[in-house]
A = this chain, B = another copy of it.
Amino acid sequence: MSQATNQVAQTMRLALIQMQVGTDMLANLAKAKTLVRQAAAAGGQVILLPELFAQQYFCQVEREEFFHWAHPVEQHPFLEDFGHLAAELGVVLPVSFFERSGPVYYNSVAMFDADGSRLGVYRKSHIPDGPGYEEKYYFAPGDSGFKTWSTRFGRIGVGICWDQWFPECARAMALQGADLLLYPTAIGSEPADQVSTPNTPAMWQRAMIGHAVHNAVYVAAANRIGVERFDASSCTFYGHSFATDYRGEMLCEGQPSFEGILHADLDLAAAREFRAGMGFFRDRRPGLYQALLTLDGQV
């Protein structure tokens, strides 16, 4: 924690918080803060909480009342509390929250550096929609563009949940020089009436392991656990929070029953050297990628 921000960080101790979220927002916030303190006490320098950890995952259902939980960044009921906590503990803290900006609602992350300063806000770019994940009802697709920030402990990019399936998002953050890609997440079972349930924990990890290898960067995700119910609707969040190194090797992983903190020690200098030697960023062919800027591939 003595590293100055004008030096390039060589190592980083990452902490991932996997937690169950209940119906009482104040209890959720208190639990999150307790876990952040524990993570910092164990040496965590960058601490990742799950997506929208203040509330149960309300996108299970579509209800007007849940829009009340959204607030503007500058008048937010708990965001700056986490900034103060980051400063007190000297840790980097991305904080997922439900953002309102005028009449528009976003699924956002505020990035707090280890001195408590808010480096910026990323708005989730890719919005899912399907049974139990009705996010298109709540969130406008983010307009912030992909973000990375140079923090006290390294250059960090943050995507949010569904973003983690999109190679474009990971590549864009890697092109900005990210040492580490973080994904706060809320993912669990599909509704029981789905005919075939794919092995989504494995798929979900494979998608991000792919980003780690393609970009030779560290990647991590923090997910929630436990059952959440909204009347007849329920979802079992499956944990499996994890971090991989820049070759896709697992560093830590949380089983679905585990509530607590996962740690991983990252060698950012070794990753940078490996990344240069692999030559992926030397050999890209931007002149051939025009189709990627279309929805249907027609150029």
Question: For the complex, what is the distance from the CA of A290 to the CA of B285, rounded to whole Å?
Answer: 14
The residues in A between 251 and 297 inclusive whose CB is less than 8 angstroms from any CB of B are 274, 277-281, 283-286, 288-297
Query: Is A247 part of the contact surface with B, judged by Cβ < 8 Å?
Result: yes
Contact A126/B284 with A199-B247, A210-B206 known, Cβ cut-off 8 Å: yes
CB-based contact B210/A167 at 8 Å: yes
Question: For the complex, what is the distance from the CA of A50 to the CA of B99, rounded to whole Å?
Answer: 51
CB-based contact A288/B146 at 8 Å: yes
A270 to chain B, nearest CB (A): 9
Q: Which of B214, B277, B297 sits near A210, CB closer than 8 Å?
A: B214
Majority SS of interface residues in chain A?
A: helix
The residues in A between 106 and 157 inclusive whose CB is less than 8 angstroms from any CB of B are 125-130, 141, 145-146
5 A-B pairs closest in CB distance: A210-B210, A175-B297, A167-B167, A206-B248, A207-B213
Task: Tell which of A162, A214, A247, A285 has the most Cβ of chain B within 10 Å.
Answer: A285
Q: Which of B172, B199, B203 sits near A289, CB closer than 8 Å?
A: B172
Number of copies: 2
CB-based contact A283/B162 at 8 Å: yes
Question: For the complex, what is the distance from the CA of A209 to the CA of B208, rounded to whole Å?
Answer: 10
Which B residue sits closest to A204, measured CB to CB?
B213
Question: For the complex, what is the distance from the CA of A212 to the CA of B285, rounded to whole Å?
Answer: 21
CB-based contact A213/B210 at 8 Å: yes
21 A-B residue pairs with Cβ-Cβ distance under 8 Å, sorted by A, are A125-B285, A129-B279, A129-B283, A145-B288, A165-B214, A165-B278, A168-B288, A168-B292, A171-B291, A171-B292, A172-B288, A175-B292, A175-B296, A176-B291, A202-B248, A203-B248, A206-B213, A206-B248, A207-B210, A210-B210, A286-B292
A129 to chain B, nearest CB (A): 7
CB-based contact B280/A286 at 8 Å: no
CB contacts (< 8 Å) of A162 on chain B: these are: 283
Query: Is A100 part of the contact surface with B, judged by Cβ < 8 Å?
Result: no
Besides the known contacts A126-B283, A172-B288, A202-B248, 8 further A-B residue pairs in the complex with CB atoms under 8 A apart: A146-B291, A165-B278, A166-B284, A167-B168, A175-B296, A206-B209, A207-B214, A290-B293
Question: For the complex, what is the distance from the CA of A286 to the CA of B292, rounded to whole Å?
Answer: 7
Question: For the complex, what is the distance from the CA of A216 to the CA of B21, rounded to whole Å?
Answer: 31
Binary flags per residue of A154-188, CB closer than 8 Å to B gives 1, else 0: 00000000100111101110011100000000000
Query: Is A198 part of the contact surface with B, judged by Cβ < 8 Å?
Result: yes
Query: Is A224 part of the contact surface with B, judged by Cβ < 8 Å?
Result: no
Contact A176/B297 with A171-B168, A210-B207, A210-B209 known, Cβ cut-off 8 Å: yes
CB contacts (< 8 Å) of A168 on chain B: these are: 167, 171, 284-285, 288-289, 292
Question: For the complex, what is the distance from the CA of A249 to the CA of B202, rounded to whole Å?
Answer: 9
